[in-house]
Structure 1
Amino acid sequence: MKKNIKKLLVLALSSALLLAGCSSGEKNGKDEKQGELRKYKLGVNGTDHSAWEDIRQRLNKQGIDLEFVEFADYIQPNKALSSGDIDLNAFQTEIYFNSFIKENNIDNLTSIGYTVIAPMGVYSSKVKDLKELKSDKPLKVAIPNDTSNGGRALKFLESLGYIKVDESKGNLPSVLDITEYTIPVEIIEMAANQIPASLPDLDFGIINNGVAYEAGLTIAKDAIAYEDYKEERMRDYWNIIAARKEDAEKEDFKLIVKEYQTDATKEALDRQYGGQTIPVW
């Protein structure tokens, strides 16, 4: 009788341990599954994305992780997004985005949220004030060679009193749309990221904020003039987060936009850019 009781106790204990082990395994498996982050590739321009890194860490707590894919130009990020190589990108103004997808016949991308506006600046290695430039001969001025940023630079030149452009072209004039040279200038179109290195050969260059930042230039310390970002026309230059249309309503993407548009992000942007970018949400 005692032997039978002993056997029953051993069997009961073994069963309990087995059940405990299964329960523990199931729990650990569940915890591991819950701990897996949903990963997305975000296309960015340049190598400094510390503000986005701050956002990434906050998103980790919500089960989302971002992998930063760096690009050195303004062309590949949208092509990579369209082809599915990345899931999102954040590097461009809305007017550039609309112009790019139209010119490249891309119909599967859309904007899902606004981020910041980054004023263009005038930079020169020769003078500290535009008034110091002599106009006895045409001034050499470089502007970006893409449609949206080039048009933006021309509108900026117009606001500075150097040229007048055809009003019917809105925010997308080209050099061919200049109707008057109020001050003689020779406009040189080149890739935006080449302008900083070309400054010694120019009287001045008009440079995108992001490109200037990558080149070690800041609006506050180095620009001798910059755009009035409060003008109504400047809304076209708000920066966006872009995604494929099929993913636009994805809950995780809504969370990413929501997390971007927070006071914590404003602080992170200020740490990274020192006030060079202005939040627009």
Structure 2
Amino acid sequence: MQTLIDYFETISSLHRGLILVGGITVFWLIENAFPLFKFQYNKINHAGINIFFTITTIIINFVMAFILLLAADFAIQQNFGILQWLPEMNIWVYTLVGLLLLDFIGAYLVHLIEHKVKFLWRFHLIHHTDTWIDTTSANRHHPGESVIRFVFTVLGVLIVGSPMWMVFLYQSLSVVFSQFNHANIPLPKKLDKVLSYFIISPDMHKVHHHYKLPYTDSNYGNIFSVWDRIFGTYSYLERGQIIYGVDTHMKPEENNDLSKLLKIPFQKSRSPEL
């Protein structure tokens, strides 16, 4: 475990970038060879739009990374946060508790709030406009949403009181898990079901991308599925019944146009089209 801690304490931007690119590459190859759904789309064009949003997310997180560092340093130096107030425990348990709490605040909670607050939903909506969910959809976040999620990550670091190595470990896991549960891959149904009791499996997350309520407002988690089950936001839908997208923006000429996607948060709210 100490080797893992040492690695993430000093992990370089290059290595963090390689984790992101490596994950996309692996899942891209798998979903091309064994797709869950055989989409009729221009995969390169679709990936180009999503990679644009991925790059803007990387830039925003890189520019603001010093805030995360300050938050983590403050928590450790001032003995502030949940992890700092808990009794001493085994390092594996300490890490698991920290990751669970970071995932709750930095993924589950912010995601749920984005669905419930209309102003924030306008930014998150861009993620849901994707009608061809694959591994590149993982970081399809409007730059405005990337800032919102960063703010919650900082709050998470302060509330949890996590050291910087744990923050980097959490972010790396979060990226890979998001690429995994968005990937257009068919795990055996029984395996997917078992996994969904512990982590966000592909089938579980794809329900969240069904185009209409109540499914859109469910399965908010990113790494751990425990929060959806505890707070009653878990739902299930058979693979064959899932239709990707969001019922207010189902037209391809709009949800597959970068310039139009960037403008959506600044437009009036719409009623469902379907």
Instruction: Mark yes or no: TM-score above 0.5.
Output: no
TM range (shorter): under 0.3
TM-score normalized by the length of structure 1: 0.26
More strand by share: 1
